[in-house]
Chains A and B, each alone.
Chain A
Amino acid sequence: MKRLSLSQAFAFILRRDLLIALRNRSELANPLLFFVLVITLFPLAVGAEPNLLARIAPGIIWVAALLSSMLSLDAMFRSDFEDGTLEQMLLSAHPVPVLVLAKVTAHWLVTGLPLLLISPLLAMMLGLDEGAYGILLLTVLIGTPILSLIGAIGVALTIGLRKGGIILSLLVLPLYVPVLIFAASAVDMASGGLSAMPQISMMLAFLFLSLSLSPWATAAALRMSMS
């Protein structure tokens, strides 16, 4: 028999994490609820004037997506850290970055993808220009995996800390700035009837960069945290 290939090992971990998430269905809705809640706060705070809301909608949606994805980060490695399976993962015969990528993918499927499904609804409630829906979905589709990948590094660095929460946001939020700028500006452009291609291609470049670098940095950080 041969050792599992990289893609098999990846698929194995992905399936395992999705299975566990499925068995904890009740927790699945939490990031989504948070996302909706934050967005509900804005009209209450700045007033329900339709023009104003429509103008700031791209920014609101993206700030809320950023916060929601950041809050769900901790769950990425927390339970594995506590029950010792993270330790076992580092001792696996497979390259750790590949396993890390599988875990980040699973985490994104569970916490990032739902944002994609609900953002059109929220865009409608905020009165975002209908022409911008497509671009909004595209930015969420490209942007949230970047947030998960960058966030993974931060979680891996702080997983061993008793009070990791605040410090995690201090580490991660500044690194989220480019995603926020490009994504919000893409939606902004689209709602003004302009082309958002430059921003979208910039985000794609950023996605590939983080795909290729983040798993290694995360693996190194996990090794540090577990030593």
Chain B
Amino acid sequence: MWKWFHQWGSPPHFYRRAGKWLPWLGGLFAVFFISGLVDGLVFAPADYQQGESYRIIYVHVPAAWMSMFIYMVMAVCGIIVLVWRMKMAEIVLISSAPIGASFTFLALVTGSLWGKPMWGTYWVWDARLTSELILLFLYLGVIGLYGAIDEKRMAGRAVAILAIVGAVNIPIIHFSVEWWNSLHQGPTVTKFDKPSIHWSMLLPLLLMAVAFQIYYVWALFLKVRAELLQRERNSRWVEELFRS
């Protein structure tokens, strides 16, 4: 385990390994994404209350899951950065941020698209949407802070601290927003969290969730590789890479 951790922590090793994985990840993503999409849009039955428009949950819910998951990944990377000062963790952290922000944005857009037929308006201050909006601000804070600091090692440590502080706060923010929402009841209660969901509706949801996970790893590897080349442009292994 430690050896494995150590190997992936070395930039040239990561660069090569990630490069080998990329086509496989891309293929797997395509398989899951297409089957999830077809299953969700074509085969899954329509909802007896919401009709066809509920189908957007196949994008919305996995995107919302990913938006939380990626922030947690960033916080874990943050701890690794502060404790072991590992360069790879810095790069994974900062490369995750834009991907996480995109998923958050996607969750917001799909959420409000779903809101139009349900509530008759694109935006309601629903608990989940509001939490996602604040999460988006947290992501933008990480990206903004990293961009503002010129010295990249310093910037890496700064966003590590910020990601951890944010991760401690997310449950509190989430909880307070839920609370707030229950006080000021919106036009309708969210129908996303159904107590029971039929498996024929659940299956495409899970397929899409797996597809999004694979997409994250794929996009992360691409970004990390680019960031590595940029950061280590003066190092020997990058030079060898481009000579051959």
Contacts and interface: CB of A to CB of B under 8 A. Distances in A.
Interface string A79-100: 0000000000000000000000
8 contacts: A158-B148, A167-B141, A177-B134, A177-B173, A178-B172, A178-B176, A182-B179, A213-B168
B241 interface: no
Contacts of A217: 161, 164-165
B211 interface: no
Given A158-B148, A175-B165, A185 B134 contact: no
Nearest to B136: A174
Contacts of B42: none
A181 B144 contact: no
A158 B39 CA distance: 48
A153 B165 contact: yes
A215 to B, nearest CB: 12
A210 to B, nearest CB: 9
Interface residues of B, number: 28
Nearest to B178: A181
9 tightest A-B contacts by CB?
A178-B176, A174-B137, A181-B176, A224-B157, A171-B141, A181-B180, A170-B141, A178-B172, A174-B134
Nearest to B138: A174
Contact of A206 (B82, B149, B172): B172
A115 B36 CA distance: 55
Interface of A: 153, 157-158, 160-161, 163-164, 167, 170-171, 173-175, 177-178, 181-182, 185, 202, 206, 209, 213, 217, 220-221, 224-225, 227
Nearest to A163: B148
B34 interface: no
A209 B171 CA distance: 13
Contacts of B137: 170, 173-174
A70 to B, nearest CB: 14
Contacts of B180: 181, 185
Interface of B: 82, 134, 137-138, 140-141, 144-145, 148-149, 154, 157-158, 161-162, 164-166, 168-169, 172-173, 175-177, 179-180, 183
B61 to A, nearest CB: 23
Nearest to B176: A178
A141 B102 CA distance: 38
A47 to B, nearest CB: 22
Contacts of A225: 154, 158
Given A175-B165, A213-B168, A217-B161, A167 B148 contact: yes
Nearest to A221: B161
Contact of A224 (B148, B154, B173): B154
Contacts of A227: 154
A56 B173 CA distance: 22
Contacts of B149: 160-161
B165 A167 contact: no
Most B CB atoms within 10 A — which of A167, A181, A220, A227? A181
B100 to A, nearest CB: 14
Contact of B145 (A158, A181, A182, A185): A158
B154 to A, nearest CB: 6
A174 B173 contact: yes
Nearest to A180: B176
